[in-house]
Structure 1
């Protein structure tokens, strides 16, 4: 009897635990070929994410080898390489985790057409979210939820799929050429986290004892009490369902953040242009375009300490505290009046967790063009700093020019006595013609 062979095409699901496409395919087929295709179309967008990706791929290959398999690596168009490999190994089926971006939709359409042409069975699986986009629909009609709160209520009460164990054994076809794993390149952020499933699972285990303090600590910018799991979720080194299950509190503040991630995935599934087009119809978009101001913001030298601290943390770590994301994005769009798309691009370059759905959805929320019922809200950076960095420790950590400034004065160095202010190697705050921000008075 001929052995039945299938390909599992990995994309943003670089793990073996709770991987529905891998687990189901291993149970149904005699031979399984785990495949990752390095797509030139996605190359060069972020040195930080490329390094994290290659680290995660090396870890995935090691996990597969422990189970008797391996990771087959190819370079080129993922559709063409999948079809070519299927012919080489005699595969009759291809499995893939469903994704929501415009690129992912295009890849899926092309892959489906080619599978049909070559008489291959293509099956898409869940795995990138807790609840699959499109599963939950608003009662009054519509293809997705536009407001988070009603989505969260339905999401928390819904039945989640069962979490799946990693396959015990994976058998490759004889003679398949695995290809060479790329060595992790240099990233731009010296203190960026390292990618991989084992690190992701260990980070989750180590952080869970702090879960009970999350509600009190997650906005403490200096304390840094967040899980820092977002890069691992972005690359699928850990399953979002596993994270939510281990937290074991669907109504709690931490799992609520996991729900926000699902929310933007279902928005993006219905509105794939989220990174370039205003989501809210009728949104006012009258932006300034000032390259010097944008560069100063991106480099962390706006003269607004809490903003500069956030931007410098992102450049150093490839990660940014969630409160700092709101503050820095609000400053760019609501104070400097810059187009949110420019902010999306800067964040997308540096952030390990940068993805289309969450990066773009959150930027549009802050800019007032997205899923916010109060689109004209603003973030006063000084008030935010005094509330979430009350002693100024976060600012001093990332803006060493202000290390000697005492107490809350670090948040408003322009108010210091002239003699002291002149000794600081720190710029005055950026101003916008025709505006008079209250925090500068």
Structure 2
């Protein structure tokens, strides 16, 4: 009887999981997740989401006669041990792009060769595999989105992998206990797992997808899908989501999924995206101001739309896409603070925080990345007046300003001085360079 181990990493689902489907063609299958101590504690929010997702995946596999095998330790060591203990001939794995994932994959390749076990890599973390489309002239990755989008749009998409009907574990294998559910830090974080992902997807497709192009930048309306945490952990197949959106003619949303793929193909050849600038000439002398940075983290900059975004981040472990741009631009363009500090703060809180998209978007905003107009600036007040014209989003997250009507909430310092002083809300942090000219 043939046995295969599937090492699950960021593909915590049974639907359209090519690595799992391939392993299930064997007579016996070991769905394995290894709790890696090196990744423990990086983000309490993501740890909670991960553990919820593992519990849901275990239930899905048990419903098919199998189980999720949980081990703790070095993922390569534990995977090889599971394969040897069960006599597995093959290990399957979803290919990934971060530096850590690539090192893990290379080590696993070497160990499989040493133990004469086949290692089969499969797609699954993106719509189009990161290396599938390349620019002409011998380049390894596209540096500009628009030509990448054209090539990506013309590339064939693989067929979705069927969910296994039955999963059969080897006899005598102890699945292992799931860890206790940690508290997390954000009180209103969404629930992890494929079941929650598919429930959210069903609602999104039925109610909100058609209006996405017009609504996705609207801050109070919250017309985004909120599916990014499920994509980050593979609770939802990006290919399945892209096909569902394309079938409904939602080109604007498909384009956003292409942006996600874009940063994955960038990271594939530039794995240090979180710490090294793509455009080194733009990685200028950053300002390091602990007090200003802390005000930004705490949502106490005195610029309401920035503070609303930063408080949403802490409350939900998520932030509206337009607010991400505004808050990142404020830190880097107006305060002049190093984008890497922003990457690290977002990475701590975001349920969807990963190297490709978190770091790629921060570099785009800071002018060190893939932006074709790297010197552009974003006026936070104009952004607020355009995308939150009545101040609904700001008042939702900054309760100190709930008594201010309409758009006046975006510039409370313009109120009569006695009124402003009674708000228990700070005045705006001034830029070190332009003395808050941008506020006028």
Q: TM-score, normalised by structure 2?
A: 0.98
Contact kept in structure 2, 1:151 and 1:263, CA below 8 Å: yes
In structure 2, the residue matched to 1:9 is 7
In structure 1, the residue matched to 2:49 is 52
Map 1:354-393 to 2 at 5 A: 354-393=353-392
Does 2:294 correspond to 1:295?
Answer: yes
Does 2:429 correspond to 1:425?
Answer: no
Does 2:254 correspond to 1:263?
Answer: no
Per-residue CA distance 1:147-199 (angstroms, 9 max, x = gap): 00111111112110001220101110000011001122001000000001011
Per-residue CA distance 1:108-135 (angstroms, 9 max, x = gap): 1110111111111001100000000111
Taking the aligned partners of 1:328 and 1:19, their CA distance within structure 2 comes to: 35
Contact kept in structure 2, 1:47 and 1:188, CA below 8 Å: yes
> Which ranges of structure 2 fall in alignment gaps of 5 or more residues?
none
Which residue, 92, 95, 98 being the options, matches 2:95? 98
Map 1:161-310 to 2 at 5 A: 161-209=158-206, 210-248=208-246, 252-310=251-309
Does 2:139 correspond to 1:139?
Answer: no
Question: RMSD of the TM alignment (CA)?
Answer: 1.0
C-alpha displacement at 1:251, in angstroms?
A: 7.0
C-alpha displacement at 1:308, in angstroms?
A: 0.2
Q: Secondary structure at the match of 1:34?
A: strand
C-alpha displacement at 1:240, in angstroms?
A: 0.1
Which residue, 34, 39, 44 being the options, matches 1:42? 39
Taking the aligned partners of 1:285 and 1:68, their CA distance within structure 2 comes to: 57
Taking the aligned partners of 2:137 and 2:147, their CA distance within structure 1 comes to: 12
C-alpha displacement at 1:284, in angstroms?
A: 3.6
Contact kept in structure 2, 1:34 and 1:71, CA below 8 Å: yes
Which residue, 6, 15, 19 being the options, matches 1:21? 19
Taking the aligned partners of 2:163 and 2:12, their CA distance within structure 1 comes to: 12
> Residue 432 and residue 248 in structure 1: after superposition, are their counterparts in 2 closer, same or farther (change >3 A)?
closer
Contact kept in structure 2, 1:302 and 1:308, CA below 8 Å: yes
How many residue pairs end up in the alignment?
A: 438
Contact kept in structure 2, 1:156 and 1:251, CA below 8 Å: no
Taking the aligned partners of 1:388 and 1:351, their CA distance within structure 2 comes to: 22
C-alpha displacement at 1:433, in angstroms?
A: 3.4
C-alpha displacement at 1:434, in angstroms?
A: 3.9
Contact kept in structure 2, 1:347 and 1:359, CA below 8 Å: yes
**Over 4 Å off, 4+ runs:** none
Map 1:319-398 to 2 at 5 A: 319-398=318-397
Taking the aligned partners of 2:349 and 2:37, their CA distance within structure 1 comes to: 19
Q: TM-score, normalised by structure 1?
A: 0.98
Q: Secondary structure at the match of 2:222?
A: coil
